[in-house]
Amino acid sequence: MSSQIWTEKYRPVKFNEIIGQENIVKRVKSFVEQKNLPHMLFSGPAGVGKSTLALAVAKELYGGDWKSNFLELNASDDRGINVVRQTVKDFAKTKAIADMPFKIILLDECDSLTKEAQQALRRIMETYSNSCRFILSCNYISKLIDPIKSRCAIFKFKPLNREEIKVIINNIMKNENINVDERTLDYIFKASEGDVRQLTNILQSSASISKTISKEIVQEIVSESDPEIIRKIINESLNKNFIIARELLLNHMLNNGLSGLDIIKGIQQEVLNLDLTQNKKLEIIEKCGEIEFRLVEGSDEFIQLEAFLASMSK
């Protein structure tokens, strides 16, 4: 079964099937019942139900005609001003086919839109508000201009907690005839970080190896940094054994296919568990933030990680 099929299979399409966002669902459902939606802005981490809720709104409002009255665009792929002026505008200015006064446009990952495209979008939202409603979905609301935020009812989604993730895993276990013990469930929850899409991909990849999913199988799939090796790397650096720490680091990265960001995140998490003074922990965490920024900006990860080890050795 492909990843896309798994994701679609367990993607809820009714309000009562969306887990972990009950307060938001209740508010949105009240708009749908009145058949009078405002422009809406869904903000929150990936894989928590933003696009799914927009889909549920469309299916509830239009029934079998939802595809004709619902346009979904991924702004991270098409984020220029021409897409807003042409595709979005052409769809927004036509009337709905069903017995509804408006259509719906879902702009997924709208925080990837350029500033020029956002300026064009704000005008379209105002001009065609009688014939079209916008549902904007983003991970970082701070990247949107204020005029767009002021035109929308804002809904802030939260990551799913352990119990909510457990409900989803139990549903998949029941339907796919797989077994996951409590120890593995805790590890999957930590690895997915509340992202249901990532959770589903981890389970599917693990299930292709064995129907009984163990922590060791998930670790192999996730390719996460090993806390024990990370501790050794930090300790060797603090003991001024730079060459040994560098060798451990490079071997761990190359043998497990880890990126520089994986290593830095692993170090940042593991530092808190080490027997170090408070000031020493603060210095290392501060350095982690600096190196992470450089890696995101495109610096060479091996050079930056070696510089990080050198700073700890000094």
Q: Taking the model in full, what pTM does it have? A: 0.74
Domains, the chain, in order of start with CATH, read 21-156 (3.40.50.300), 162-222 (1.10.8.60), 227-313 (1.20.272.10)
Token look-up 């996730």 returns 222
Per-residue pLDDT of the chain (314 residues; tens, 9 = 90+): 555 555 555 566 778 788 888 899 899 999 988 888 899 999 988 888 888 899 889 888 888 888 888 888 875 565 566 677 777 788 888 777 777 788 898 988 888 888 888 888 888 888 888 888 999 999 889 999 999 999 999 999 988 888 888 888 888 888 888 888 888 888 888 888 878 888 888 888 888 888 888 888 887 787 777 788 888 898 888 888 989 989 998 888 888 788 888 888 888 888 888 888 888 888 889 999 999 999 888 888 889 999 989 988 88
